[in-house]
Structure 1
Amino acid sequence: MAPTIETRPEQPYVSIRTQATLAEWGRVNALIGPVYGWLTERDITPAGPLFYRYHSVAGDVIDVEVGVPVPEPVIGDDTVAAGSKPAGQYAVLLHKGHPDRIRETFAALDEWSEASGVEFDVTDGVWAGRFESYLSDPAEVPDLADWETEVAYRVRH
C-alpha cells in the first residue's frame, strides 16, 4: 500500500525527550505515564493520540520524544517540554499490527520514497518531522496485534 500525502497544520504538543537504544526501549515507554499525568494535573485534554517523534539515530541510540498533542500552546517545565509538530506535507502510512513490527512500515515508506523520488525532510541525519502516532486505545484494543499506528514523515519541498 502506498502512503498518502497530507498537508498538515502546526500542532502544539507536550513531551518528554530522551535518548535510548532499542534494548532500553522500556525506559522510553515509561515516559507515557508522566506525560499524561502532567496533562491531568493541569486539566488539559489531549487533542490527539500519543506519539513518538524521532529526531535522529546515531549508531544504535535513538533521539526520541514521547508526546501528546494539546489544543493550544502551553508552557512546559523542568519535566515536560512544550513543542509543536511542524506544518507541512507528510507521507502518511497506516501500520496495522503489533508495534514491534513497525519497522516493516518504515521500510515500506523508505522503498516508496526511493521509487517515487519524494524525499523526506532530513538534514544531516536530523528529521524535521518523523512521527509514530498510536491510534488504538489499549483499554479498547488490548491485543497489540490489532493496533493501528500512523507513521508520518514530513517531506522536503
Structure 2
Amino acid sequence: MQTFPTPQIVERTEQSYVGVTRTVTMTTMGEIADRIPVLIGRLAELGVAPAGAPFLRYLLIDMDRSLTVEAGVPVLGPAPRDELWQTRVIPAGRYATLTHTGHPDELIAVTDGLLAWGEEHGHRWDVERRPDGDRWGCRLEAFHSNPMEVSIDAWVTELTFRLAD
C-alpha cells in the first residue's frame, strides 16, 4: 500500500443526489455497488448529467453483521422523480477528506488511517455509536475512476467523512 495521504478539512455546501439504499454484508457489497451504473444509465435516459463522482454513502455500519449503504449520484438541483431512486441531500458542514489511488481492497486500511488521523488531531466524527451499529451523519466513498478505463490497481477513490458540529 502507498504512504497514507494527508487528509484535509473542507467546508462543503449541501449537495442533492439520487440514491438507492440496501442492507448488505461485506461479502454482498457488490449488490449495492452494482447500482451505480444503473443510476447513471437512467439519469442519461432522462437527459440529466451527474454533477460529480458517484459514491457509496455508509449509513449504518456493523462490520460483524451488516451495513446499510446507499449508492448515489450527485445532481444539480432537484432530480426528476423516478421509481428507481430516492432524492436526498448530502448535508453541508465540515468534512475530513483524502484521495487514495490504488486497489479498492486497500480502502479498509486507508479508512482506518483516516479515522486514526482524526482521533490523533482531536477531531470528532458525526457518528452515533449504537448497539446495532455506527450511524454516520455522512460517510462517503466517491469513485473518480471509470473501471472500464483504468486498471483496478490505479483506481482513484475519495473518502469524505463529516465532522461533528
Give the unaligned 5+ runs of structure 1. none
Give me the CA root mean square deviation: 1.3
Cα pair 1:96 1:149 within 8 Å, conserved: yes
Alignment of 1:12-91 (within 5 A): 12-58=16-62, 59-91=64-96
Match of 1:6 in 2: 10
More divergent stretch after superposition (44-53 vs 67-76)? 67-76
Match of 1:137 in 2: 146
Normalising by the residue count of structure 1, what TM-score does the alignment of the two structures yield? 0.93
- Distance in 2, matches of 1:135 and 1:29, equals 14
Give deviations 1:115-141, integer Å, cap 9, x for gaps: 111011012421111000001122432
The AA in structure 2 aligned to 1:85 is I
The AA in structure 2 aligned to 1:130 is R
The AA in structure 1 aligned to 2:145 is S
Secondary structure of the equivalent of 1:39? helix
Aligned match for 1:93, one of 81, 89, 98: 98
Cα pair 1:38 1:80 within 8 Å, conserved: no
Shift of 1:79: 2.0
Give deviations 1:50-76, integer Å, cap 9, x for gaps: 100000113320110001100111244
Cα pair 1:49 1:133 within 8 Å, conserved: yes
Question: How many residues align structurally?
Answer: 156
Q: Report whether the alignment pairs 1:113 with 2:118.
A: yes
Q: What fraction of aligned residue pairs are identical, expressed as a percent?
A: 35
Cα pair 1:13 1:67 within 8 Å, conserved: yes
Normalising by the residue count of structure 2, what TM-score does the alignment of the two structures yield? 0.89
Shift of 1:37: 2.3
Match of 2:161 in 1: 153
More divergent stretch after superposition (123-132 vs 10-19)? 123-132
Cα pair 2:56 2:70 within 8 Å, conserved: yes
Secondary structure of the equivalent of 2:109? helix
The AA in structure 2 aligned to 1:127 is W
More divergent stretch after superposition (122-131 vs 29-38)? 29-38
- Distance in 2, matches of 1:9 and 1:2, equals 22
